[in-house]
Amino acid sequence: MLKQFEAHFKDLGYTEQTAIQAAVYEPLVSDHNVLGLAPTGSGKTVAFTLPALANLLPGDGTQLIVLEPSQELAIQTSRVMRDWAKLLDLQVLALTGGANVKRQTERLKKRPEVIVGTPGRVLNLVNDRKLKLHLVSLLIIDEADDLLTGDTLDTVRSIAQAAPAEVQLAFFSATDTPILHELDQWFGQTVERIDVRQQDQTQGVVRHGLLEVGMGKRDQMLKRLLAMPNFRALVFFKQANTLRQTATRFYHEHMSAASLTSDLRQVQREKALQDFRLGRIRLLLTTDVAARGLDIPKLPAVINYDLPGSVNEYVHRVGRTGRMGEPGQVISLGDDHDLRDLKKMLKDTDYDLVPIYFSGRTLTTDRPAAPVKAPVDKPVASQSGTSTVATKAHTTPAASATDQSTEQPGAKPATKPTKAVVSNPSKKKKHKNRHTKNKGMRKKWRDHDEQNQK
């Protein structure tokens, strides 16, 4: 490690390198093609930043390209790299979709040594000849398990083909997928595989809870969780429509929540993420696309509003909490059937899924006792056909026999039970018409007039 990096490493409070940082430094510095596999939150960004920057020459044009799957992750990575690059007088530029293209083109004229961007925007600028890759010596594909799928795979390959033939390649991922075993076929170069997932010790204690909640009551459960002191959570949705409905409801109810989706403008997304990091809002509603790879320090909890559909999705979601030794809590919401399917999907993993309950403004693994129902007195039918309500003190058969017998001397006379008045809805009250009443009066006066005439 360079002396400048060693001093800054200590200034940031780090005592030693993580497993992935120590394992990939020498191979990357020595121009080897590398695939680095390490758990989420294990310092992969710093792992490729330090050796990558060490080989760059200030003022020699763009020499390093880093590809990220989302705008948020590209901006986050560029900030981390810029913090280290300034020690070597290197410039870092973020190129993301959704940002102003003209402004990015103007900044490219300053010939930054490092470009961090999303594949679509980088390839567009390359095709428009605004970004030249003839001096690029290293291409880093972060979150490779996500980027090397579907149409994005073709985009990444096109960028690699636009770079010099001898360009060094580096891939980093938290999960292993089949394509990561076929990199030499897709990119035409031999790639050294470095897997430290078993040796890594950076993960904190994370509890994985299953909270049984029906779909119609999940918004209400989020509100109840907000009643917990110092509670903050990243809430994952599958469908953007469901997310927007919840976000709109919370907005009108003045709940401490914001949304982070791919259809928002970059300024809105950055503000939502910044507010969440600073604690101004307590719930950040997002999808897998928008929140992949995000580093949110000391995040207490992750909530699966919609359960993930694959093991990899679960790994990346829960990896947002419990980073760098911090404790974390995962709360998966669903009905009994959904939670059974989740346990079945994760049966071959090391995750310990435990049923949890919300009681007394806290989460607990103890099942709350069922409330004792007060005895409800049934109506007793009387001989007259009307029903009367029984009193709390139920009459025993012996007492009933005593009541029916003759009163004993000296005893107080029993009061007669009042007869319950029951209205009969079938009998309607007759309403006397005003004209009917006047008709009788008119007959009376008519008879009076006839008698006078006689």
Other beta carbons less than 10 A from residue 340's beta carbon: 12
**pLDDT at residue 389 in the model:** 41
- In this structure, the answer to whether residues 8 and 84 fall within a common structural domain is yes
- In this structure, the answer to whether residues 245 and 190 fall within a common structural domain is no
CA angle 249, 255, 258 (to 5 degrees): 80
**pLDDT at residue 387 in the model:** 45
- Single residue among 319, 339, 364 that ends a domain in this structure: 364
pLDDT in tens, 342-364: 999 999 999 999 999 998 888 99
- In this structure, the answer to whether residues 108 and 222 fall within a common structural domain is no
Cβ atoms of 64 and 48 within 8 Å: the answer is no
Q: Does the residue 140 lie in any domain?
A: yes
pLDDT in tens, 32-53: 999 999 998 899 999 999 999 9
Structural domain harbouring 286: 206-364
- In this structure, the answer to whether residues 358 and 322 fall within a common structural domain is yes
- In this structure, the answer to whether residues 278 and 155 fall within a common structural domain is no
CB-based contacts of 249-254 (< 8 A; 24+ apart in sequence): 249/219, 250/219, 250/222, 250/283, 250/285
- In this structure, the answer to whether residues 104 and 211 fall within a common structural domain is no
Q: Does the residue 449 lie in any domain?
A: no
Give the containing element (helix H, strand E) for 333.
Answer: strand 328-334
Chain centre distance of CA 147: 22
Q: Rounded CA gap, 11 and 7, in Å?
A: 6
CA distances from residue 91 to 110, 118, 159 in whole angstroms, order as listed: 9, 18, 21
Domain count, the chain: 2
- In this structure, the answer to whether residues 147 and 261 fall within a common structural domain is no
Q: Rounded CA gap, 55 and 50, in Å?
A: 9
Q: Does the residue 248 lie in any domain?
A: yes
- In this structure, the answer to whether residues 162 and 223 fall within a common structural domain is no
- In this structure, the answer to whether residues 53 and 98 fall within a common structural domain is yes
- In this structure, the answer to whether residues 188 and 218 fall within a common structural domain is no
CATH number of the structural domain spanning residue 97? 3.40.50.300
Give me the average pLDDT of each 10-residue run along the chain (454 residues). 88 88 96 95 94 95 96 93 96 92 94 96 96 96 95 96 96 95 95 94 91 94 93 94 94 94 86 93 90 86 96 93 90 96 94 92 84 62 46 43 43 49 51 55 66 63
- In this structure, the answer to whether residues 83 and 17 fall within a common structural domain is yes
Q: Does the residue 405 lie in any domain?
A: no
